[in-house]
Amino acid sequence: MSSGRSIRILIQIDWVDVAETVSRLWDGSGPYIDADLNVWVGAAALSGITGVDMAINGEAVVLNIELSGVNSTNSDLAWLSFTNNEIIGSIFRILIQTCDDYDQPVGDPEVKFTGTIDNIIFHDKAAGDDSTSILIVEVVNRFTLRRIINGSVLSDTDQKARAAILNPAGNPDRFAERVPLMLDKTVSWPQWN
């Protein structure tokens, strides 16, 4: 009996201070090997993924992703970047990999979110001989309003520049021109009898 297609949530971090060093994590346990023979290490749980849509739309200032069960190699890379004050700017990607009925990857993973690390918080827990690292990664992207030079309010120029990045092939943004025109409009509500 076929179990149907499944997906895997993948996290890729390109560390800024260590040349060509990439951490690859996935929402599961054990190693996962993709079609390009890259090894993705299981992170026991990923939380905060549901906030991705708010970060993409500029509604969230920071996307907080909690990675628990991170192995020592990836935790050490994060700590090295943090202690060298080079954690900011590391590229953080969330990808979706479609799998077939046998949980084998189908095609290339699709990038759903790209941002840069703004901060990282470490929580290490030890119980007996076992230790677990929890990393809370604070990620910002190009739509984050706090990155705008003039503060939290978009000027007409900022809005047009932001719209050109979001929609490079589309019509130029005219939002700031059209809002003052709404001052002369009257909203009529229907009268239900």
- CATH code of 6-143, in short, is 2.40.10
Query: Could you tell me where in the chain the CATH 2.40.10 domains are found?
Result: 6-143
Closest CA to 38 of 68, 58, 8, 16: 8
Closest CA to 18 of 103, 112, 121, 91: 91
63 forms beta bridges with 139
pLDDT tens per residue across span 43-80: 755 666 666 666 666 556 678 888 877 777 778 888 88
Instruction: Quote the pLDDT of residue 123.
Output: 81
pLDDT tens per residue across span 158-192: 677 777 776 777 777 777 777 778 888 887 888 77
Using pLDDT thresholds of 50, 70 and 90, give the confidence band for residue 105.
confident
